[in-house]
Structure 1
Amino acid sequence: MDRRLLLGLVLGFVGVVMFGATLPFTRLALGEMSPWFISFGRAALAGLVALVMVVATRRPWPLREPATMRALAVASLCLIFGFPLLMAVATQTVPAAHGGVVLGLLPLGTALAAMLLAGEKPGVGLFVASAAGAGLVVAFALRNGGAGAFGYGDMLLFAAVVVCAVGYAVSGRLARRLMGWEVIAFMLILCLPVTLPAALITFPWGAPVGAASWAAFAYLGLVSQFLGFFFWNAGLAMGGIARVGQVQLLQTFVTVGLAWPVNGEVPDVETALFAIAVVATVALAQRMRTRPLPPAG
């Protein structure tokens, strides 16, 4: 395997592990915080840290690059507002296990978005392997409480998949020209005029919030919303959006594994078997041929 691709896959997997802890820590924080404060507050916290980093490192602002600013705006709308809010509203009307279905379909959606928006040409074999992996994760989610009639919440979840896939494709293409951390940093800074006031409005003023909830919130802001994208964006840029996007098939099982120490939810043998099968499909996807990545720009 090409070294650049291998490094891209490793970086992508590190990002997936960081993202995989998002749901367990969100559940922990929800015990004493509102979902609105968690959503806006974590983006505001990450945005303030990003602002400090950009100023401290004296990175040039892309304000005079209209194409870059448009791409940053689209990625921000998708990944900082669209996907989290669609998921938050959807999970109020459908079982939580439907989130596993979303994670199962997202890599396939990311491959399609990479082809349509980022100029990549994934082969048929990669789509077949991605569809097989999606089927396994969807089957796992449905066997663990995700069954039910198709309704409004499911349409929101499908919309969340589309929005997130577009965000990944756009931010992954940006990461070919900017450093991975710069992409997410400028996205978060661009959103501060909205996220910071919203965080202050929804802040749990006067409500008793324990140290565990604040620690979980800090993880969501500093790691899930910021640091994880350092690795994820860099991985997408190095290994290809469509290829590295398949690694996210593993996120459901990372979440299940991390829910054991964080939430006391012990995984079973069936989960391990599904995880092994998904790993096999991810490995198969990496062996499929794709056309070379287009030049940065």
Structure 2
Amino acid sequence: MTAQDSAILPQPVAPRRPAASGTALAALAVVSFSLSFPATAWSLTGFGPWSATGLRGALAGLSAVLHLAAVRAPLPQRRHWPGLLVVSAGCVLGFPLLTTFALRTSSTAHSAVVIGVLPLATAAVAALRTGRRPSGAFWGAALAGAGAVLAFTLVQSHGRPTVADLYLFVAVLLCAAGYAEGGRLARDLPGAQVIAWAVVAALPATLLTTALGLGAEPVRLGAKALVGLVYTAAVSQLGGFVLWYRGMARIGVPRASQLQLAQPLLTLVWSVLLLGEQLPAAAPATAVVVLVCIAVTQRART
């Protein structure tokens, strides 16, 4: 075969990253996460904050053990464990506990909007951790979306952040680190195994928290409390993360994280429909700004 013949033959095409499916997975995760705060509020009708957090993590951990055994998943390599422990500390322990404490004194709607800065924090941590540098347009849209969310928060709290807001902002930092590490690990491990090993690693802490919480806090079992607990354990702490990390692995942490700008607005809807809270007057305007920012970040070069 001559060089000329070779030149006219069809050349192999490198497979493209399934960006559309990655975006769909991440979007489904955002929808599932948007119900986490209402579900947590329901769980608090029957359990204390320590009990609710411990049971959520323990049930997810035990489910993960069964999954890992069923698929005969090999132990992660040594280089994976530091990242898995960051996911455990941020997404399995820190974020659930701090947001549960916040929801004792803050409305679901207010807390959801404060968490709206999470996408910006996740993108920043991912950029520092991986060395990827999103474009100026990406950062501009991300900052605009976060700014809209922060302005909404200050208007709702009359310019005076509360103790609950402090809990929420610390929770954001911890969760952003867990999201970024999980998204990075999902390039080497299946998304289901990333969160599964993270909740298993946290089992000693969540089981201890459960035992201490149930011994010190009253329990008033009811349908809402049980539904809320099951949802936070099965979806918020496990199933949603499977979709989230798979989506991150396909489209990248920065781009996936910006889809979460829509989460506070979805939670606002659920807070009205499920909890009977009043929708803040500024919510529609904030929704428009945030949706525009999402559109820009999804088109911006990363």
TM-score, normalised on structure 2?
A: 0.86
Tell whether 2:50 aligns with 1:36.
yes
Q: Is the 8 A contact 1:184 1:229 kept in 2?
A: yes
SS of 1:203 mapped into structure 2: helix
Q: 1:197 aligns with which of 208, 216, 232?
A: 208
Q: 1:253 aligns with which of 265, 272, 285?
A: 265
Map of 2:137 onto structure 1? 125
Per-residue deviation at 1:267? Answer: 3.7
AA partner of residue 58 (structure 1) = R
- Map Cα deviations across residues 186-205 of structure 1 (whole Å, 9 max, x no partner): 00011111212321332379
Mapped partners of 1:57, 1:40: distance in 2: 26
SS of 1:215 mapped into structure 2: helix
Map of 2:181 onto structure 1? 170
Mapped partners of 2:87, 2:280: distance in 1: 37
- Map Cα deviations across residues 241-277 of structure 1 (whole Å, 9 max, x no partner): 0111001111111111112332123547742342233
Q: 1:241 aligns with which of 249, 253, 257?
A: 253
Mapped partners of 2:159, 2:280: distance in 1: 23
Map of 2:197 onto structure 1? 186
**Unmatched 5+ stretches in structure 2:** 1-15
AA partner of residue 9 (structure 1) = T
Map of 1:215 onto structure 2? 227
Q: Is the 8 A contact 2:94 2:171 kept in 1?
A: yes
AA partner of residue 89 (structure 2) = L
**Which range is displaced more, 173-182 or 69-78?**
69-78
Pair 1:137–1:152, CA change in 2 (3 A): closer
**Which range is displaced more, 98-107 or 73-82?**
98-107
Per-residue deviation at 1:139? Answer: 2.4
- Please show how residues 1-297 of structure 1 align to structure 2 within 5 Å: 4-62=18-76, 65-90=77-102, 99-143=111-155, 145-150=156-161, 154-203=165-214, 207-265=219-277, 267=279, 270-290=282-302
SS of 2:18 mapped into structure 1: helix
Map of 2:5 onto structure 1? none
Per-residue deviation at 1:95? Answer: 6.9
SS of 2:202 mapped into structure 1: helix
Map of 1:293 onto structure 2? none
AA partner of residue 248 (structure 2) = L
- Map Cα deviations across residues 87-141 of structure 1 (whole Å, 9 max, x no partner): 3445567776652453221111111111111232211111100011111222233
Mapped partners of 2:266, 2:161: distance in 1: 27
Mapped partners of 1:136, 1:171: distance in 2: 27
Mapped partners of 1:26, 1:159: distance in 2: 18
**Which range is displaced more, 193-202 or 151-160?**
151-160
Per-residue deviation at 1:154? Answer: 4.5
**Which range is displaced more, 190-199 or 53-62?**
190-199
Per-residue deviation at 1:10? Answer: 1.5
Q: Is the 8 A contact 2:90 2:175 kept in 1?
A: yes
Q: Is the 8 A contact 2:84 2:182 kept in 1?
A: yes
Aligned length: 286
Identity score, percent: 37
TM-score, normalised on structure 1?
A: 0.87
SS of 1:32 mapped into structure 2: coil
